[in-house]
Amino acid sequence: MTADVGVLIVGGGPVGLAAAIEARLAGLDVTIIEPRQGSIDKACGEGLMPGAVHALERLGVQPVGHDFAGIAYVSGTLRVEHAFRSGTGRGVRRTVLHEALFRRAGELGVTWIAGKVAGLEQGDAGVTATGVGFPPIRADWVVGCDGLHSTVRRLAGLAGREVTGERRRFGIRRHFRVAPWTDLVEVHWTPEVEAYVTPVDAGTVGVALLGPRYLDFTSTLTRVPGLADRLDGADVASTVRGAGPLRQRTKRRTAGRVLLAGDASGYVDALTGEGLRVGFTQAAAAIRSIVGGDAQAYEREWMRATRDFRVLTSGLVAAARSPLRSRVVPAAVASPSLFGMIVERLAR
Ligand SMILES: Cc1cc2nc3c(=O)[nH]c(=O)nc-3n(C[C@H](O)[C@H](O)[C@H](O)COP(=O)(O)OP(=O)(O)OC[C@H]3O[C@@H](n4cnc5c(N)ncnc54)[C@H](O)[C@@H]3O)c2cc1C
């Protein structure tokens, strides 16, 4: 038997849930398919930029966390800080973010199916999804929000060239029971990694390490001066989780009645910490274009919404991977107004 739905969202991560909420607020009938149950966790720096906090508020979602006022770059004794002009950011555990979005989606009548999509077929009657844990579903529209290694992206023929070898970057994260020592997200630069520290509540910080594959969390942390001392003796509050390769390219974001949003639609890097902000913007744009019946409008909005992320984050990652790496923090210290301008552009 084939079930009929208006919008089928593949992936119940934060972007899939935001897209589902947007769709319900627009009066559409929406179903999410997601294989994982309970409070979904994921390797993430967990810093919601001010733009992401605003986007969630607009959806009626206010996850509990720890507010932060801006970003600091640190390298040894060098430090530069920028306080957001556009509001405050918030560190939020991914499990808490998931629960808040899931609750709101439930209030609005989003249908949730436990299953994993493995096939998509487009025809005159819409798109039929097949997979594990559910009968075939025919949808007017499919929004692929299934993350970095998106199946929908591959099935719809939207995957771009794969990034291979040394150029691939990965992220791992762990939490520590320690009171935040600053109201900023700190990014510690070492020759090996960037260590991203986000307060997530009054007694816990998350640390995400970005760099090459197969990093050992504990030993790498000992080589982050300034941070290793702060965390020395602190109880660990989570297991190590990883994700990557981070860079994922797409040829386009739409194929017929299939749209991609969030990491599935292409991802640059976690270094600038705005994946969620960009993903929520994409979710809103995807649903607007579905309401307007114009998938090409989404392609244009996606390009506009991701421009700063694509240009500024790619530029910073290129510098981080080049012989200029050791000059990044000194350059930011020497030009705090330029550093502040870049942070503002990515935080909006
Ligand atoms: C180390 C690290 C640090 C980061 N730090 C930050 C930060 O500080 N701030 C920030 O804003 N962003 C950060 N990001 C980026 C952020 O985590 C992502 O942009 C965000 O998780 C994207 O959400 P999503 O819903 O698109 O994908 P995901 O969160 O990956 O969710 C995808 C969902 O799809 C489901 N799925 C997968 N395949 C299928 C299938 N076949 N069928 C059905 N469902 C499927 C998965 O189970 C998953 O639940 C960081 C990322 C990393 C790796």
Q: Which atom of ligand 1 is nearest to the CA of 14?
A: 25
Q: How far is the CA of 121 from the centre of ligand 1 (A)?
A: 25
- Top mutation candidate among 146, 278, 346 for ligand 1, by most atoms within 8 Å of CB: 146
Alpha carbon distance 143, 18 (integer Å):
11
Asked whether 208 lines ligand 1 (CB < 6 A), one says yes
How many residues belong to the chain?
348
Q: Domain of 117: which CATH number?
A: 3.50.50.60
- Yes or no: say if 277 and 55 are a contact pair by the CB < 8 Å rule: yes
Domain count, the chain: 1
Is 231 a member of any domain? Answer: no
Condensed to tens digits (0 to 9), the pLDDT of residues 138-162 reads 999 999 999 999 999 999 999 999 9
Asked whether 16 lines ligand 1 (CB < 6 A), one says yes
Is 100 a member of any domain? Answer: yes
Is 151 a member of any domain? Answer: yes
Is 190 a member of any domain? Answer: no
- Yes or no: say if 9 and 19 are a contact pair by the CB < 8 Å rule: yes
Domain membership of residue 7 as a residue range: 3-43+94-163+247-323
Q: Which atom of ligand 1 is nearest to the CA of 40?
A: 49
Is 87 a member of any domain? Answer: no
Asked whether 13 lines ligand 1 (CB < 6 A), one says yes
Is 75 a member of any domain? Answer: no
pLDDT at 1: 54
- Top mutation candidate among 276, 278, 309, 310 for ligand 1, by most atoms within 8 Å of CB: 276
Q: How many CA atoms lie within 13 A of 133 on its CB side?
A: 13
pLDDT at 190: 97
**47-48: strand order across its sheet:** 47-48, 89-91, 66-68
Encoded tokens for 183: 């109201």
Is 155 a member of any domain? Answer: yes
Asked whether 145 lines ligand 1 (CB < 6 A), one says yes
Asked whether 42 lines ligand 1 (CB < 6 A), one says yes
pLDDT at 347: 87
Is 212 a member of any domain? Answer: no
pLDDT at 2: 66
Which residues of the chain carry a pLDDT beneath 70? 1-3
> Which residues are within 8 A (CB) of 93 and not within 5 positions of it... i.e. 6 or more apart?
46, 65, 175, 200, 201, 204, 206
Q: Which atom of ligand 1 is nearest to the CA of 185?
A: 8
Please state, rounded to an integer, the average pLDDT across all residues of the chain.
Answer: 96
